[in-house]
Amino acid sequence: MKAFVFNTYGPPEKVLALADVKKPVPKNKQLLVKVRATTINDYDWSLVRGKPYLYRLMFGAFKPRQKVPGMEVSGIVEGVGAGVTKFKPGDAVYGDISDYGFGTFAEYLCIHEQAVVRKPNAIGFEEAVALPHAAVLALQALRDVGKIEPGQSILINGAGGGVGSIGLQLAKFYGCPVTGVDAGEKLDMLRTNGFDRVVDYREEDFTRRGAQYDLILDCKTNKPALSYLRALKPGGKYVTIGGTPAHLLRLLFWSKILPLFSSKTLRIVGLKPNRGLDFIEDLFARKKLSCVMDGPYVLEDIPRLIQYFGEGKHRGKIVVKIH
């Protein structure tokens, strides 16, 4: 079978090679999945380059232990290992497999049965694969941590990416007005997608515009923690899903101290993969939610697409069709 393999950290187009490798055999509790589609995520951009260096602590100090990247999959179960109880050959599955490993940039993948869930028939393989990581991050940020309430004013920073595009639809489901912050060239797309107001982060600092929100979802924390308080109404919540490690660390520190002197809160989401996907599937079936898809592309495009993702040129979720 074909898979994208890398043996050293570096630029995706330099270090990733399409190789013929042995088709894997499922071990205990594992499924052999024929990959129908995958996506590009921040994890891939970081894992392949080994940056931030923190990643090397987890994935190999000098060279990657994990040879095939990719962490979102939709596909068909082709075989099962001993002890598998949830699935049988022929079942359609999808999920964010990052709690159990990587390896979706390949024609086949062996993964623990808990890493995926059953794919509803109403959702196609290419749409399904665009959902688990971004939709679950957006849901856990807005609903589970942010405790979104109908009619609240919401701001999404990094609005043009995978999480932003789903976060907007979730906020609209709750009847909330939403402001989106992203690069100038994406603002027309944001307006078309339904953001009520848009801000170009290269022109304006959303924490200094005088506007205040009940809930901020940040995909790109890169400012001092306390600066976000300026953009929150009394009792407002700032919830981040990602950003630079240094800023996130300081934010974590301030999140513990802030309750001593403010009604505003700062929170960081720790993703629980695939938790809440049933809610997302229900919204999808009721046409309350759809995927903003960049693609679908083909397997051979993956190194170029990781670079394209890293340069922030994508619109919504990059989807790659494999079979």
Ligand X SMILES: NC(=O)c1ccc[n+]([C@@H]2O[C@H](COP(=O)([O-])OP(=O)(O)OC[C@H]3O[C@@H](n4cnc5c(N)ncnc54)[C@H](OP(=O)(O)O)[C@@H]3O)[C@@H](O)[C@H]2O)c1
Half-sphere exposure of 303 (CA within 13 A, CB side): 16
Phi/psi zone of residue 164: left (φ > 0), alpha (ψ -120 to 50 degrees), beta?
alpha
Among 19, 226, 271, 283, binds ligand X (CB under 6 A): 271
**Dihedral angle, C-alpha 171, 176, 177, 178, nearest 10 °:** -20
Report the C-alpha gap between 144 and 127 in whole angstroms. Answer: 24
Residue 44 or 281: which CB sits closer to ligand X?
44
Residue 89 or 245: which CB sits closer to ligand X?
245
- Contact status, residue 211 vs residue 195, Cβ threshold 8 Å: no
Q: Is 158 in the site for ligand X (CB under 6 A)?
A: yes
Largest CA distance in the chain: 60
Phi/psi zone of residue 184: left (φ > 0), alpha (ψ -120 to 50 degrees), beta?
alpha
Q: Which stretch binds ligand X (CB under 6 A): 25-33, 82-90, 228-236, 267-275?
A: 267-275
Minimum distance, C-beta of residue 106 to ligand X, in the bound complex (Å): 21
Minimum distance, C-beta of residue 186 to ligand X, in the bound complex (Å): 6
Closest by Cα among 218, 211, 252, 255 to 233 = 211
Contact letters for ligand X, residues 100-139 (x by CB under 6 A): ----------------------------------x--x--
**Dihedral angle, C-alpha 234, 239, 51, 67, nearest 10 °:** 180
Contact letters for ligand X, residues 226-265 (x by CB under 6 A): ---------------xx-----------------------
Q: Which stretch binds ligand X (CB under 6 A): 14-22, 109-117, 121-129, 178-186?
A: 178-186
Report the C-alpha gap between 183 and 103 in whole angstroms. Answer: 31
Q: Which stretch binds ligand X (CB under 6 A): 108-116, 172-180, 216-224, 274-282?
A: 216-224
Residue 177 or 312: which CB sits closer to ligand X?
312
Q: Is 196 in the site for ligand X (CB under 6 A)?
A: no
Report the C-alpha gap between 136 and 139 in whole angstroms. Answer: 5
Q: Is 157 in the site for ligand X (CB under 6 A)?
A: yes
Report the C-alpha gap between 223 and 110 in whole angstroms. Answer: 40
The residue with its CB nearest to ligand X is: 161
Phi, then psi, of 253 in degrees rounded to 5: -60, -50
Q: Tokens representing 267?
A: 């929170």
Among 76, 109, 123, 181, binds ligand X (CB under 6 A): 181
Residue 8 or 244: which CB sits closer to ligand X?
244
Among 48, 163, 216, 239, binds ligand X (CB under 6 A): 163
Among 70, 103, 164, 296, binds ligand X (CB under 6 A): 164
Report the C-alpha gap between 209 and 135 in whole angstroms. Answer: 29
Q: Is 162 in the site for ligand X (CB under 6 A)?
A: yes
Among 90, 210, 234, 270, binds ligand X (CB under 6 A): 270
Question: Binders of ligand X: how many residues, by CB under 6 A?
Answer: 24
Binding residues for ligand X, rule: CB under 6 A, are: 42, 134, 137, 157-158, 160-164, 181-183, 186, 201, 219-220, 222, 241-242, 269-271, 312
